Amino acid sequence: MICAQKSKLPTFRNTGNPLVKDKFTADPAPLVYDGTLYLYVGRDEYYEGQDTAGGGKEFNITEWLCYSTKDMQTWTDHGSVLKPTDFKWGVGESWAAQVVEKDGKFYYYVTALAGEPYNSRVVGVAVSDSPTGPFTDPLGKPLVSDDMTDNGPRGWWNDIDPTALIDDNGQAWLCWGNGTCFLAKLKPNMIELDGEIQVIDMPRYVEGPWLSKRDGTYYLTYASFGKGKENIAYATAPSMEGPWTPKGELTGTAENSFTIHPGIVEFKGKWYLFYHNATLTLDGHKGAIGRRSVCVDELHYNSDGTMQRVEQTQQGVSTSR
Ligand code: FUB
């Protein structure tokens, strides 16, 4: 009898920050499901001319990758789980994304470049029965397109960086935006907005929002404009309806990277802040604005619910450096 052999996925050991050392990775988005932490990232790809690119195509991300761990030390590489071209409207580049689980289905909210008739960056959603895919496009069109929001300071590319939170009462929320922080309810089907799109006014808000909840307090953590580049700041609220109170900086700026992007999760009794810097050299290519690397450090809270400032370390959360 011939038994089909399940192909074995590659694994690696956490040897400190950056966490992934064989690829450039950015915009980390953790998800805890069934005792496993899944980490979704965009793959920053090197391309000829990238070092001198000005203003335009700093980032070259054409696929999203997934990693998983049960102990933060041994990681499994699930490879590429979604591409912008998996959406029939998607063309080329993909930016930050997040996966959330509801009733055994996994919803992948992504930033992608959409072709005709959208011709802008949009938020899309893909769905799967498994955290590692395959993911398919249930809508056949973007979830948020440029015509649905005011353009604000970033024009046609302000609808980026979606983050989703499902509250304990089952209400799901979607937050996104560059230059403007947008917030809307999701319908129970998770693939349509429900009601008005609000704008949340955050000091020095740039992009990369991340929604989380701990002990009845809601956190909106985001990339803010710091000393010449982005750092991470946050605000808290007693409910998703607000009011949101700015709480200041959570981190400084990232080493060698203009951008930084938070991803926060509780896993096995500890809280973690994922972010990226650009300290990795790979195949002779030094880290750069579009050659970033995902990192993780522990996150601690004060008794009043505020977050303690996170120092970005080389040790990270590894035990094997
Ligand atoms: O990775 C491309 C963009 O850079 C993301 O969408 C932003 O959050 C910033 O990290």
Q: Domains of the chain (ranges plus CATH)?
A: 11-47+58-299 (2.115.10.20)
The CA 27 to ligand 1 mean position distance, Å, reads 6
**Farthest CA pair distance, the chain:** 65
Cβ < 6 A, ligand 1 pocket? 26-27, 42, 59, 61, 95-96, 111, 160-161, 207-208, 259, 261
Paired tokens of 274:
């994922």
Give, for all 321 residues of the chain, the pLDDT tens digit: 344 445 799 999 999 999 999 999 999 999 999 999 999 999 999 887 777 655 456 889 999 999 999 999 999 999 999 999 999 999 988 899 999 999 999 999 999 999 999 999 999 999 999 999 999 999 999 999 999 998 877 788 899 999 999 999 999 999 999 999 999 999 999 999 999 999 999 999 999 999 999 999 999 999 999 889 999 999 999 999 999 999 999 999 999 999 999 999 999 999 999 999 999 999 999 999 999 999 999 999 999 999 999 999 999 999 965
Task: Give the position, in ligand 1's atom list, of the atom nearest the Cα of 96.
Answer: 6
Task: Give the position, in ligand 1's atom list, of the atom nearest the Cα of 260.
Answer: 10
Q: Which of 190, 68, 72 is nearest to 133 (CA)?
A: 68
The CA 96 to ligand 1 mean position distance, Å, reads 6
DSSP 227-247: SSSEEEEEEEESSTT---EEE
pLDDT of residue 53: 53
Q: Which of 207, 222, 230, 292 to mutate to test the pocket of ligand 1 (most atoms within 8 A of CB)?
A: 207
pLDDT of residue 226: 87
| CA-based torsion, 215, 251, 41, 204: positive or negative | positive
> Closest residue (by CA) to atom 2 of ligand 1?
95
pLDDT of residue 2: 43
The CA 95 to ligand 1 mean position distance, Å, reads 6
pLDDT of residue 55: 47
The CA 271 to ligand 1 mean position distance, Å, reads 23
pLDDT of residue 52: 66
The CA 245 to ligand 1 mean position distance, Å, reads 24
Helix (H) or strand (E) run with residue 274 in it:
strand 270-277
The CA 7 to ligand 1 mean position distance, Å, reads 33
d(CA 81, CA 265): 21
